[in-house]
A = this chain, B = another copy of it.
Amino acid sequence: MLPFRTLISIDKSAEASIYLQLAEQLRRLIGDGILKTGQKLPGTRQLAELLQLHRKTIIAAYDELLAEGWLESRAGSGTFVADPLPLVRPQTLGKEIDGQRTHREPGFPFESKPHLVRPLLLMGEGLRLDDGFPDIRLAPMEELARAYRSYFRWGNPQQHFGYGDPKGNRLLREELSVFLNETRALRTTADNILISRGSMMGIHLASTLLLKPGQTAVVGETNWSGANMNFQQAGAELLTVPVDQHGLDVEALAELCQRRPVRLVYVTPHHHYPTTVTLPPDRRLRLLQLSQQHGFVILEDDYDYEFHYLRRPVLPLASADPNGMVIYIGSLSKSVAPAFRIGYVVASETVIDELARLRRIIDRQGDAMLEFAIGQLFRNGDMRRHLKKAHQTYLSRCNYFCSLLTSALAGSLQFVKPDGGLAVWAKFDPQIELAQLAQKAKVEGLTFSDGLAHNPPGKALNSTRLGFASSTETELEQSVAILRKLVKG
């Protein structure tokens, strides 16, 4: 028998009843594996004697543990440590389904939304000319890992692993405010900023707040489907205006506003998705003026502002918006790595407050650890150093990739060298069927999108985005060589 007299010590002066103390200590002995599953406990009389306690106290403790499922009583042979432990011994309902897996179809009807159906292009191993993703090999992983380590070890865990502010980590919001004011001439404080999960969540929250069924949202043709889907999901009617080599055709928008009320205009001024062109200052000012005149909200998605190569970036519309008509959205996912879902929304305080209330019923709050880590990287300068390095690398890859396309694929595709961003918008020769080409390339070890998702209804652009940023120059050479082989034969 175990040395219970040594293992168990009862404090008779303690506030907790003696039988509860005993039950607790027996529970610990079971939990620590000292009393093992199936092991027999001493009889109540025997244990009472050993511990110099009343037998009634022992019985009360055993009863407690029997009720809780730690012990089990076998008729005529005594009390045993129950097997298995309570965690894995549930009461059944008597009607469990046996031997078959959950059905594929539910027992109730539900409406599947066609506007949400969109293929998911996952990048596998091998070469890739993606949608315009960053090179994760450049990401400041060491610095992030260090910041994560310090978060795990730092301060009062009850506080920083508990529930936090739905608007996001304060340090990051303050650092971001400084960064945005400095690089984009915004005039924010931390109270104007909500940290979202990527720019997608910013668009989702703004759509939910702003759009009611039947209202009009205007986007460029063609536009990013992630934004379109959100506007449609909110019930808005989606209208388009043309996009030319300078981006959104603001005069077409002006005409549209004459004909019907517009609630929201979505714009990716720097650089238009998918065609990569930059909206110039005069169009930006005109857009702001139209917004004033017609009362529509501008949802400015400046996901690519960090990456501009030719001349200088153009300041956001939000920097010249004295009346608060712009909701400004940005992302750090492209600056670090897509897996780090960090974006931000900049708006008037009351708008941020309401967006935070909406976000609270979606995911309660952001990723406390990641937000803290990125906040640290901004504070100690690592983020600025990383952005500068990434900028230079992508610029040189952009130049190199464009020169490769020109020399190796002239005649098979047309493109305008982008002012910035992480991808080239390439229009393939009508002789080349892009869907087929993408399939053949996949077999050769190169993944890229067939661009079908960019086609407006009834039009075939035969164009796609070829992202250069995530590939080294050698990988770009290999990718272009595969394309050349398939196209030129």
Contact = CB atoms under 8 A, between A and B. Distances in A.
Interface residues of A, number: 154
A230 interface: yes
A250 to B, nearest CB: 14
A7 interface: no
A28 interface: yes
A85 B388 CA distance: 9
Interface string A278-310: 000100110010001001110000000010111
A156 B125 contact: yes
Interface string A48-71: 000000000000000010011100
A42 interface: no
Contacts of A204: 361-363
Interface in A324-343: 324-325, 337-341
B338 A162 contact: yes
Interface stretch (A182-190, A429-437, A452-460): A182-190
Contact of A281 (B91, B110, B369): B91
Interface stretch (A73-81, A111-119, A238-246, A374-382): A111-119
Contacts of A100: 187
B31 A392 contact: yes
Nearest to A318: B102
A19 to B, nearest CB: 10
Nearest to A328: B102
Contacts of A252: none
A200 to B, nearest CB: 5
Contact of A198 (B97, B363, B477): B363
A426 interface: no
A306 B87 contact: yes
A395 interface: yes
Contacts of A389: 31
A312 B103 contact: no
B348 A368 contact: no
Interface string A86-102: 11111111111100111
Contacts of A233: 358, 361
Contacts of A339: 160-164, 365, 367-369
A161 B139 CA distance: 10
Interface string A1-42: 000000000000001110010011001100100000000000
Interface in A342-389: 346-351, 354, 357-358, 360-365, 367-370, 387-389
Given A69-B311, A185-B96, A159 B125 contact: yes
A45 interface: no
A489 interface: no
Contacts of A183: 87-88, 90
Contact of A210 (B110, B315, B324): B110
Nearest to A117: B357
Nearest to A148: B148
A204 to B, nearest CB: 5
A95 B402 CA distance: 35
B117 A136 contact: no
A116 B399 contact: no
B27 A319 contact: no
A131 to B, nearest CB: 9
Listed from nearest, the 8 A-B pairs whose CB atoms lie closest are: A197-B363, A107-B323, A161-B337, A95-B320, A116-B357, A106-B348, A106-B324, A161-B339
